[in-house]
Amino acid sequence: MTDVVGYLDRWTAQPGGRVAVHLSSAMPGAATVTLIRLGRGEHRDEPDGIVFEAVDSVPAQAVTLRHQPVDAGSYAQVEGLADLPLADASLAVLVQPWLVSGAEQVVVALQGADVQRSLRVAIDGDGRVALRVGEAQATSPHPVFARRWSLWLLHWCASSVQLDIVDVRTGRRNTLALPLPTAPPAWRTLTLAGMALQDGTVGAHFDGRLERPVLWPSTVSCEAALHAVLRQSGLPDGALACWDFAPHEQQSLLPDHGPYGLHGRLVQGPKRAVRGARWSGSVFDWRQAPGQYAAAHFHRDDLTDAQWQPDVWIALPPDLRSGAYAVRIQRDDADDDGSLTGGLCRLPLFVRPATAPSPGDAVVAVVFPTFTYLAYANDRCAWFGHNPEVLADQAITLEPTDVLLSQHPQWGLSLYDTHRDGAGVSTTSRWRPIPGFQPDQRAWQAGEGSGRWNYPGDLLLVEWLEREGIAWHAFTDDDLHAHGSAVLAPYRTALTGNHPEYATTALLDAYRGFVAGGGRMIYLGGNGFYWKVACHPQHDGVLELRRAEDGNRSWAEEPGEYYHAFDGGYGGLWRRNGVAPQSWLGVGYSGQGFRRSVGYERTAESDLPQVAFVFDGVPARSFGTQGVIGGGCAGVEVDRQDAALGSDPLGIRLASSVPFDATYFVANEELLVSRPTISGPFSPGLRADVVLQASAGGGAVFCTGSIAWVGGLAAVGGDPHVQRITRNVLTRFLDPAPLEVERGEAD
């Protein structure tokens, strides 16, 4: 198991640029950092691993490994309180706890130079509210209720401090009070959902929602405070400050409506655009009523940025060839085979081309689905998910990186996990260690065989391109999101990875614009372009998802919270947003199974003369019966043609998977009611279709309908027919001659 982890400051780079490498190790020591090119060469870090070669033009660098901690947990913080008249003051805030047991959670902390003399209000390990000043403490007699809004009104003067807790729904009131032996210190900092610790970090994080903190320079009654926070907008009468958690274009800003402009900051990405205590149930788009969404949801396990210092920089040569690379870190005391007791780490990097190809060059653009890689980053479903071994139909063997991840909850979660308070994880970040994002990582979702899918599966495609001598350039979702279809415009043909599941509006527009403009696209995956996501407007490498309404979901979004905070767009499935993948690709998601993959059978339409090039040299009617992802090339997550969802009625269905077994299940969005016939043997619509359809301007789209297809491209254990078909289609798509791939007018 590796003891070296890290992350790069970017996943995609330009030749001539510089990449920062952030590292940490629990065992200090010396290591060597090199840049390697993946998919070609003679070296492997595992016997069946991805081949690689060293980039000789980038010198190896020595680095001294050190431990870098992670300060996880979201909170809000306001500085500058020392300038306010706060000798006799009141602070009100609406509070909705979500987790009311376990470690202490500080909701409000007022602190000065002496952290030990802080004034703080917390929920203790028994779920009771605790008022503390220094070592003095008063505790409520009864625990608080989860997911229930209350007003917490804190008042302090020279001799005492008092906390009133008022249930918003019933008006029930509890009061806690403490005498102050000396005058309170000059508060400098207000921290919400945590408190500053002596070592400079913030701890004792709160799991729940806060809304509308208001600060007055005097005593305020509970009735007046309730009216101010629930009924008034803007700055309440007589208040010094009023902080607004409603969504803001500056995601980390906590605006203050008061005269002093004491704007705060939100740290580690608490969730915005969530229902507050004032939500009426009649508005579902936060942009239409931001005051009803003026809360933020905090979690002790939120993490947007580990904020590690860089240990080394990699200077990329200006003439570096585009492709898939990795920064390889190996401890100098590692064993000869590199295994050590874990002294090896590889951090993926994709290098764009220095220049676009010239017209007529037979170069293919390969777009690596980095948004999907990021969605799965630090996926903990193998041990915390909903019955993964039932889905896999077998016992799950944890990888060493899985074990490492389980030992470090502070490294954050994936979009498939839930927070400790039960809320779904709606944001993910690449600014942290992701030990499973490795070239040779195995995943239980890939079924029997190599365990490759997502990033390691896409490296099977890279190896195949290199073996075949096909010229190709590397791009990522980030490139298309930032620069649109102009990225693909110089290329006649673009390839996807095996699982481009997550797409922003800009990314989808880039692909659709390429296809509509005559581009030729080869979709080598399944479950593609499924979820709609949004990118953080200020912090690249941070992604937001709202699992709204429908689809195969590991958690469901809260009602009324289907709109992204990052861009205001409606979330959920692209199908639910009116852009089913079938409407432009030709196929879309139909179901999944995580153990065995199967083969394909050709259709009668595959004998049409205009598509003869696809099966040139493939005489068999069946193909794809072997592969390293589940033992076949149709499986894991699969897509089908469906005219009702927009598939071109003149598109040609070349082949379909043979029937799946009972470990495969129909996608949720395909069902209107629960029924027993949702597994493979009873659901003819649950299949993988190989489809070829025309696009505007002489273009075309070829779809394999299966994540497992790339498993057939493996040098050992792959499927010769799948390799031949893929080469045939790619060769023809690179040929500028017009394509005629419609089956003719319907009868």
Do 43 and 53 meet the contact criterion of CB atoms below 8 Å apart? yes
Q: What pLDDT sits at residue 528?
A: 98
The first and second tokens of residue 282, run together, are 């009649």
Which pTM does this prediction carry? Answer: 0.96
User: Do the domain assignments include residue 455?
Assistant: no
Residues 10 and 56 in one domain: yes
In this structure, the answer to whether residues 81 and 229 fall within a common structural domain is yes
Residues of the chain with pLDDT under 50: 338-341, 746-747
Give the structural domain span for 154.
Answer: 75-298
Of 515, 602, 558, 606, nearest to 426 (Cα)? 558
**pLDDT, tens digit, 9 for 90 and up, residues 344-400:** 999 999 999 999 999 889 999 999 999 999 999 999 988 777 778 777 778 888 889
Q: Are residues 43 and 145 in the same domain?
A: no
- 473 is a domain residue: no
Q: Is the separation of the CB atoms in 276 and 295 below 8 Å?
A: yes
CA angle 47, 11, 515 (to 5 degrees): 100
Give the total number of structural domains in the chain.
3
- Name, in order, each residue with C-beta under 8 angstroms of 216's C-beta and a sequence gap of 6 or more: 89, 90, 91, 92, 236, 238, 239, 240
By CB atoms closer than 10 A (0-12, 13-18, 19+), residue 79 is middle
Q: Within this chain, do residues 30 and 162 fall inside the same structural domain, yes or no?
A: no
C-beta of residue 192 within 8 angstroms of C-beta of residue 107: yes
Residue 485 in any domain: the answer is: no
Residues 419 and 288 in one domain: no
In a domain, 12, yes or no: yes
Tell whether the torsion through CA atoms of 52, 57, 62 and 65 is positive or negative.
Answer: negative
> What is the per-residue pLDDT across 697-715, written as a single tens digit (0 to 9) for each?
889 999 999 999 999 999 9
Alpha helices, H only, 607-673? none
Look at residues 260, 275, 298 and tell me which one is the last residue of a structural domain.
Answer: 298
N- to C-terminal Cα separation, the chain? 61
Distance CA 225, CA 680 (A): 59
Q: For residues 103 and 29, state if they share a domain.
A: no
Q: Which of 663, 705, 676, 686 is nearest to 388 (CA)?
A: 663
Residue 359 lies in a domain: no
CB atoms within 10 A of CB 340: 18
Q: What is the pLDDT of residues 287-313, one digit of tens each?
A: 999 999 999 999 999 999 999 999 999
- Residue 23 — φ and ψ, nearest 5°? -130, 160
Q: Do 53 and 79 fall within a single domain? A: no
Residue 331 belongs to a domain with what CATH number?
2.60.40.1930
Q: Specify whether 293 is located in the same domain as 331.
A: no
DSSP single-letter state for residue 266: E
Under 8 Å between Cβ of 301 and 420: yes
227: domain CATH number?
2.60.120.200
Q: Does residue 712 sit within a domain? A: no
Q: Which whole-number Å values give the CA distances from 80 to 86, 188, 217, 234, 262, in the listed order?
A: 12, 6, 15, 21, 7
In a domain, 396, yes or no: yes
Q: Indicate whether 475 belongs to any domain.
A: no
Three-class secondary structure of residue 251 per DSSP: coil
DSSP line for 57-105: TS--EEEEE---------EEEEE-GGGS--SSEEEEEEEEES--SSS-E
**Residue 559 DSSP symbol:** T
Query: Is residue 425 within 8 Å of 417, Cβ to Cβ?
Result: yes
- For residue 306, give Cα distances in angstroms to 2, 24, 43, 144: 19, 11, 32, 32
Q: 148 and 61, same structural domain?
A: no
Is there a single domain that holds both residue 605 and residue 624? yes
The span from the CA of 196 to the CA of 208, in Å, is 18
Instruction: For residues 25 and 147, state if they share a domain.
Output: no
Residues 617 and 646 in one domain: yes
